[in-house]
Structure 1
Amino acid sequence: MAAIGAAVEQGRAGDAQGAREALAALWARVGAEGDALHRCSIAHYLADLQDEVVEELAWDERALDAVSTLSDERVRRFHDSLQVRAFLPSLYLNLADAHRRAGNRDEARPHLAAAVAGLDVLPDDAYGAMIRAGVENVRVALDEGSTARLVP
């Protein structure tokens, strides 16, 4: 998880290519059947680093697939306050947004609904506010028929 975090910070610092390479190397090391927390985390962050929405969707789907096999016991070994259900709003939001940007409005809506259904588990902090705002922004963009990338 430390290596994943370091790669994410590398991307946030402006080195998207380096972060993409580091996360791809970690994905290769973990493998498609490896630890679900690692797979979910790597795929979730790799999705955000893709240039093409089709590739982003593929990584978002890998993240959601990984979380389906993740247990609360496993995430609590990483941090005792975590629960798997709290991962879902962000994962579904990302899928909804990527489908929207790909022009797949009918596929975006159920993912957005799933994100909304999980908002109650999010904390009342900056992270929770960011996901709630993202849900609203994607909802508005979907209603307007926009496929443009949203500005954070």
Structure 2
Amino acid sequence: MDFDPDNEVVKLCAQGMMTEGEGKLDEAHELFMQAWGIASNDFEHFTAAHYVARNQQQLQDKLHWNVVSLQYALKIDDEVIASYFPSLYLNFGKSYEDLGENELALKNYIYAKEASHYLAVDGYGNMINAGIEAGIKRNS
């Protein structure tokens, strides 16, 4: 299990990220929702929901889609999914922090830290670890 660049859900999410980067948030949202609409397995649903969550303007909606993403991730029976849990829990922590729920934020940042040993030692892993540490510091 990995992000297959030929997978239609992955393609739509990648296109949505590029569109989001251009500041076209509504178009990006449509691409992410299109990915959600064609998702046909737990990995595709997890992936699409993760990107839908990123693009939400309302804090409650962002939290909702983070929950959906995690629910699908937990259904995936593949050890590779473990490398995504630090990011997922980091997103939860930030959602709760933004909602003023600092205890729940800290709890999720700690979950992210506990799963961080699954991260690769690279730029992405360093970025996620820095986000986790900053979240813990802000909410301790």
Q: TM-score, normalised by structure 2?
A: 0.87
1:22 aligns with 2:31: yes
Give the match for residue 72 of structure 2.
66
Q: 1:135-150 alignment to 2 at 5 Å?
A: 135-143=132-140
1:55 partnered with 2:52: no
Aligned pairs for 1:6-45 (under 5 A) are 6-30=15-39, 34-45=40-51
Name segments (4+ residues, structure 1) moved above 3 Å: none
Q: Is the 2:96–2:102 Cα contact (8 Å) retained in structure 1? A: yes
Separation in 2 of the partners of 1:125 and 1:13? Answer: 26
1:56 positional shift? 0.5
1:49 to partner: Cα distance:
1.0
Unmatched segments (≥5 aa) in structure 1 = 74-82, 144-152
**Who is 2:7 aligned against?**
none
Q: Which residue of 2 aligns with 1:148?
A: none
Matched, 1:105 2:111: no
Q: Secondary structure at the match of 2:121?
A: coil
**Root mean square deviation, CA, Å:** 1.4
Amino acid paired to 2:38: R
TM-score normalised per structure 1: 0.80
Aligned pairs, number: 131
Q: Which runs of 5+ in 2 are unaligned?
A: 1-9
- Looking at secondary structure, tell me which structure has more helix per residue: 2
Q: 1:59 offset after TM fit, Å?
A: 0.7
